[in-house]
Each structure stands twice: as structure tokens, then as C-alpha cells.
Structure 1
Amino acid sequence: MRKLLLAAAMLGCYAAQAQQLTPTERKLVAAVRQRMPQTEKLLEQVVNVNSGTLNVQGVREVGTVFQKEFDALGFKTEWVAMPASMQRAGHLVAEHKGKKGKRLFLIGHLDTVFELDMPFTKFTRLNDSTATGQGVNDMKGGDVVILAALQALHANGLLREASITAYFTGDEERGGHGPEARADFVARAKQAQVALAFETAIDRHTVATARRGSSNWQLKTFGTAAHSSTIFKPTVGYGAIYEAARILNSFRETLGKEQYLTFNPGLILGGSEVNYDEAKAHGEVTGKTNIIAPTAAVAGDLRFLTEAQKEAARTRMRAIVAQNLAGTKAEITFADGLPGMPPTPGNQRLAALADQASRDLGFGPVVAGDPGARGAGDVSIVAQYLDCLDGLGAPGKGAHAPGETINTKEFPKLVERAALMIYRLTR
């Protein structure tokens, strides 16, 4: 009974706070609700197009759908092409010029992790509160949150003086290599004051003021090819696969308990002949049980909160790699990906804005979530230049896995919150 009374009191408090919305803000919220059927149709339309990063045609098709929506709002749209060697679709940019309020940089991405050779799942309603489909929350749902919020603002004439750039990258899940992959992204972000990123909302009470960065590593080990009956003998040694296993286990034992640090070996090959195509994330191997493997290869990622944490981890990993088993040798290389996004006072102020908007809407409080609960994201690339907030997208579970879902009952609330935040920032 006490819990019920407390819950009722909290609901009453939130309802009272919701009265803090101005008449204009109440019209804005009403526009979001009125347009929700069209919003959900837009989500279904883009989810039903495969846009795995390497499916250039599919990524462009999804981007073209969004481009038409931005054009209808009076945004100037364009595609930023990537070098042909990257085999990426490029990025969709939509700009609206204005002189009032903060200059906003809204971040989404068009691609998903689901490539063409993976089973395809269309948008499917599972019940009255859940739908599934490829990228439904990561992050086509987040892209639609952006557009639905802007459409509600436009319907009320609230975009006329706003300065907003929406940037939908085409390769967030598997970024193209080299600084040119995000050069335009960074340049446009530097012209803004606030970045709002719409990756999956863990729940509507949590946002991200910090995100971990991501980089890649490749391990290669070498041994002596010989008959399996001679393994462990001083003249032969342990072979490449045992050396790879030693290194991976030492990584786990030595670095596996550090806060915000993770390292995942996502692919491993070992045998008599190994061929690994990094661009396609595909490998082929041949070998026999009675032959000691002369070579092995492992590809993995490394996630961290700060650059200092990343560099310290790399130093320790190199030291482990150098302690070879008898008859083996090994080498490890690292490639930078997305930097970390440490928490800052400016980011926390944006979290406070989200909190106030949520309370005013009667949805309850919002807090900064655990950085360890998230991976890397495009927002981290620009975090050193402006205040940033992420996790403002669609609510759901199972991102990057078959059966990815969106909570269709919570979804409209996050669109309302996004619209209200954008409105208040651009006043």
C-alpha cells in the first residue's frame, strides 16, 4: 500500500509539472501525437529496406526516403560522397539556416549491422507494445525520432529561425578508413554549438553524457608446421594456435576487470593456411588435425572511455604478445576507430535539459547512464568540439542481433521529448 501511495504521489507530481508547458509547447506535443500514424509508417518503410553498411544501394535507398522528408521541411539536402575505394554509400546532410537559439547538430546513421548475406527481418508487430525488424531501434528508429520531432516543429511554424544540421552517416557500423571518412562530419559539427545524437534509448529515463570509444586490433601468431605427435617438444614448440590461445587468455586475466575497458576477439582462424579479408570480415582456413598449425589470425575490438585508457591497454597487450611460447612468435597491430566521449559539465547541462523536458511532459526524471552500458558512436568524434548528448533515439532491445525490437508505446514519448528539447534549444 505504501508503494502504491508513493507511486500515486509521484504521478501527481509529474502531472503537475506537465502544466509547465507553454501553450506553444502543448501544440507541439499535440502535433507529434497527431502525426504518429505517419511516423510509424515511415519507420516501417525504412526498416523494410536492407541497409547493411556494405549494401551501398540499400543505404542510399534509405537515405533517399529521409532526404525527401527533409526536403519537404525546407531543409537543404545533399549527399557527401566517399572515395570509391571505401565502398561506402556516403552521408546524407540536411541543413536549415537560422539566427535564433543554439546551432544544433543532430546525428543519425542510415546503415545497420545486417548485411545482405544475413537473414532479413521486415518490420513486424509482435504485440500492442513491441515491433521487430532490422535496425528498428539501431538506428532507423532514432532517425525517425529526429524527423518526427522536426515535422511537429514545422507544423507549428517553429523552424523558421532555427539553425539545425541533421547529419545521417552511411557507415557508422563499419566506418570507412582514413580521416576523409568523417572530415565533412567534423567540419560541419564545428559550426554548431550543441550535438544531439539519437542512438538507441536504453529507456526513457536514461541518456548518455559519455560513451566509450572503439578501436580494432589484429593478432597474428606463427609456429612451426610439423607432425602433431611432436607438439610440445623443444625442437618444435607449441604451434600458432596455442600461442593465440595463450595471448587471448592473458588479455582476459590481465585486463578483464578494468572499468569501462573491454576487448573482444570477434574472429579467429588457425591452421596450415589462413586467408583473412578484413574489408569483407571474411576468412578461409585449411588444416588437419595431425598437423601443427603454423599460423593463426585473430581480429577484435577494444573499447575504452578515454584516450589514456586506450593507450595504457595497448601497452599492456603488446607486452603480453611479446612473451611467446617456445617455438612461436606473434605480432599485434592496432587501428583507431571512434574516440571516447568523456563526461563534461556541458554534456551534463544537456542531460539536465532532457530531465526538465521529461518532467514537464509528465514522463518522470532523466539521468545520465553508465558509459559502460554503451558501445561507440559517431557523436564521440565531435565530442571535443561541442557539448553532446546521446541516447535520445528509439526505445528498444536486442540491437545488433536477430529479433531487434522497438517499444512502440514508449516511442511517441521520446519523439515528444526530442521535439520539446529542440524547440527550447532553438528559442
Structure 2
Amino acid sequence: MQRLTQDERKLIEPIEQSAMLVRTERWSAINSGTGNLAGLQQQAEELACAFAALPGEVELRGPATVTSIDAGGREIEQANGRHLVLRVRPAARRRFLLTGHMDTVYPPGHPFQEGRWLDDDIFNAPGAADMKGGIAVMLAALQAFEGSNAAKTTGYDVMINSDEETGSLSSADLIAELAREKAAALTYEPSAQPDGTLAHARGGSGNYSVTITGRAAHAGRNPHEGRNAIVAAGALAVALKTMEHSDLAINPARIDGGSANNVVPDLAILRFNIRPKSADAALNFERDFSVLLQHIEAGHEVGTQVHGGITRPPKTVDAEAQRLFDLVQRTGADLGQAFGWQPSGGVCDGNNIAACGVPVVDTMGVRGGAIHSSEEYLIASSLAERAALSAVVLHRLATGDLA
């Protein structure tokens, strides 16, 4: 740490690994799967209490209305938990955004519910890396930052949403609201690799449900009078897969519909995901998809209705964002942490923030791995390591490093 200033060294002295670990273990024991509203409420209350240690007021914002298509083709409302927001010194001229998510991919019925130590430094627990540990890092970094003189003239907003794992549909408008006029943003997803590698550019993501309406008929007496919605859905799925190219991945994931074997099915719902690597790829897909639907409708004599779309725009790294990456990497080196970056096919709230024109590094959380599986683990020593990184980055941002 030879290249840290005296103020920066003093800044990180109070960071306590043990306090962060206690929080991470406690929070990981709370099931906060995206659909578990009771668990999310418990987690939100715990976070509100913890973040109340910072200046500013904590509030829990209600989710925006989100709908989906059920297996019967009906549009239904999805329930989501509340989102935590903390605004500190909102009148400050220079302000930043820090984001995380409290939800996990493990519902109450999932077998992975309890944490265990694999060795002295590896903690295996649901959400330990993604991202209960990251939230602990964020809080500790902000508490350390508040001890600096630079904090007195700097403002920031914290947003911890409850639906990131399902696309942040009920918090997208909130993210855009809080990103407005921010100088930079940090998001606390776990590092892209266990060695601390950051995720750089990201592709985008879109989820679609296509309801296909055909005509029922008896499969033996008059099948020619029917219009098979399942066959049309299958044809659409195959045609979508042929639209893939180097900048666009398409995953037909599920077809719902049909009834008895002797009935020509008059309803099917095809669900699929796309991953465009660029804005052009996303735009071209929308155009080509519209033409494909017309061909399916005409060729199979069915009707179609589309629900959904691209909700995570591709995240590109422009010159301003690259300066933020350089600052984070340089700060890491000054702390004795060597890491680089790599592109990622995954998406997160960093995509949404970047789409607002705000430079963002979105893997400021802990080192770990095997997320979204029962093998998910946190490298415990990375809690203090990454908290120190964030605290010094915030200090340098506050003193005009990106100006």
C-alpha cells in the first residue's frame, strides 16, 4: 500500500472484516428468493436497520407494476418486494450511485438454504457472493468513506432492489431516476472471476412470451379444420434459432399449451430469451422478429401476441466509463490487489445504469464463484479487501479523479 496517501490509509483503517462477515452470515440465512415476499420483507428491514448507520434517510419504495403471461395465455400481475433507497446529501454538486440487490435465485423450497464453511476462508451459502456479501462490502465502504473530509461535500444514493434476479422490471424506473445526473456508479455484483476480475462490456437481454391462437378441432374426425398452435409455436422456435449470429444468441426456452391428445391445440405460449451484444443487434432483431411473426401467422393461419422485450440494453464501455475502470484498477494496484477485466455474457443493473449515460463498474462485490448453484461460495477475506477498494475509489472520485 505504498502508493496510498496518508488520508487514504487512515480511511481504510476502521474497516472490520469480522463485522462484515457477521452481517453476511446473518443475511445469507434469510431466504430472499425473488418471489418470497415475506423473506424479502425481512431482508429489507434488516438492511434498512443496517444502512440507517449512514447519514440521510432510508426508505422502502413500493415496486412498479409488472405483468407476465401465464400458462393459459392470460396477462397477470407479478408480485414483487419493496426496494431500499438511501439518499445522502442530495444537494451536493457531485453525487454518485451505489446499487445492489437483496433477492436471490433460491426459493423457499430449494434444497440450498443453509451456509457452511468449506475451509477457513471459503463460505458456501445461498446469496453469500450474489450478493449478500457485496451489500456488506458496500455498507462498510460507505461507513469508511464517511470518515473522510471529502465526504462532507459529496452526495450519493444507494439503491438495493428486490427483483434483480428476474430482470429488475419493477425497479427499472427507480434505477433510471436515481442514475440521473450522477458522476459515476458502482454496483456490487461479485467479481467476474474468483481472482477479482471485473466484468467489462456486457451484452443485453430480453425475455419474450408469444401467445399463439389457433383453432381447435377433433384430431381424428376433422383435423383439417383445426389450426395447430403447438405446431406454429414449434415452427417459430426453430425459425428463431436460425436467426442467431455472432452478435445475437437466442434461446427458445419453453412452450406451454395443448390439452387432450385427440384435440388440435388452439393455444400455445412460446417463451424465449435473446442476448444481443450490441444496440444494432437488438434493433435488427426487433425488425426481423416482426417479419417472422407475419410469416408464421400467414403460413399457419394463427394469431400471435407478443409480451415482453429487451429489458437490459447492451452495456458498452465508452471513454468515460473506461476512465472509471482505470481508476478502479489503479486503486486496486495501490492496495496490492491485481486484477483486470473481461467482457461478460451476463447482465445486471449495470446495464440499466450505463444506458442512462452514467459510467459504471458493476462487479465491485466480493470474490467468490459458482453463483446460482448450490455450490455458491464467498472468499471471506475478500470482504475487507473489496471494502477497502471501494472506500478509496469513492474518496478518489470525491476528490475529482474523473473530473
Give the TM interval when normalised to the shorter protein.
0.7 to 0.9
Post-superposition CA distance 1:245-295 (Å, at most 9, x none) = 22212222221x322x223333321322xxxxxxxxxxxxxx33x544333
Q: Is the 8 Å Cα contact of residues 107 and 379 (structure 1) preserved in structure 2?
A: no
Q: 2: CA distance between counterparts of 1:228 and 1:31? A: 74
**TM superposition shift of 1:301:** 2.4
Which of these residues, 202, 210, 229, is aligned with residue 192 of structure 2?
202
Q: Is the 8 Å Cα contact of residues 20 and 360 (structure 1) preserved in structure 2?
A: yes
Q: 1: CA distance between counterparts of 2:145 and 2:59? A: 22
Report matched runs for 1:180-199 at 5 Å. 181-199=171-189
Aligned to 1:358: 332
Task: Kindly provide the amino acid, as one letter, of the partner of residue 246 in structure 2.
Answer: E
How many residues were matched structurally?
A: 385
Change (3 A) 1:379 1:350: same
Q: Is the 8 Å Cα contact of residues 215 and 334 (structure 1) preserved in structure 2?
A: no
Aligned to 2:70: none
Aligned to 1:240: 229
Post-superposition CA distance 1:343-369 (Å, at most 9, x none) = 2111100000011011111122423x2
Structure 2 gaps of 5+ residues are: 66-76
Change (3 A) 1:291 1:129: farther
Task: Kindly provide the amino acid, as one letter, of the partner of residue 338 in structure 1.
Answer: R
Change (3 A) 1:312 1:25: same
**Greater Cα offset, 414-423 or 210-219:** 210-219
Aligned to 1:309: 281
Aligned to 1:218: 209
| Residue 239 (structure 2) pairs with residue 265 (structure 1) | no
Aligned to 1:29: 12
Query: TM-score by structure 1 length?
Result: 0.79
Change (3 A) 1:101 1:356: farther
Change (3 A) 1:407 1:249: farther
Aligned to 1:9: none
**TM superposition shift of 1:27:** 3.0
**Greater Cα offset, 103-112 or 184-193:** 184-193
**TM superposition shift of 1:230:** 8.5
Query: TM-score by structure 2 length?
Result: 0.84
SS of 1:374 mapped into structure 2:
coil
* Identical pairs, percent: 25
Q: Is the 8 Å Cα contact of residues 124 and 375 (structure 2) preserved in structure 1?
A: yes
Q: 2: CA distance between counterparts of 1:349 and 1:128? A: 36
**Greater Cα offset, 188-197 or 148-157:** 148-157
Which of these residues, 149, 152, 156, is aligned with residue 164 of structure 1?
156
Q: Is the 8 Å Cα contact of residues 44 and 102 (structure 2) preserved in structure 1?
A: yes
| Residue 74 (structure 2) pairs with residue 106 (structure 1) | no
Aligned to 1:54: 35
Task: Kindly provide the amino acid, as one letter, of the partner of residue 38 in structure 1.
Answer: A
Structure 1 gaps of 5+ residues are: 1-17, 273-286
Task: Kindly provide the amino acid, as one letter, of the partner of residue 127 in structure 1.
Answer: D
Q: Is the 8 Å Cα contact of residues 341 and 383 (structure 1) preserved in structure 2?
A: yes
Change (3 A) 1:163 1:21: same
SS of 1:53 mapped into structure 2:
coil
Change (3 A) 1:414 1:55: same
Aligned to 1:385: 357
Q: Is the 8 Å Cα contact of residues 96 and 163 (structure 1) preserved in structure 2?
A: yes
Change (3 A) 1:365 1:183: closer
Aligned to 2:144: 152
Change (3 A) 1:164 1:379: farther
| Residue 25 (structure 2) pairs with residue 44 (structure 1) | yes
**TM superposition shift of 1:326:** 6.1
Q: Is the 8 Å Cα contact of residues 219 and 330 (structure 1) preserved in structure 2?
A: no
Task: Kindly provide the amino acid, as one letter, of the partner of residue 335 in structure 1.
Answer: G
**TM superposition shift of 1:391:** 1.4
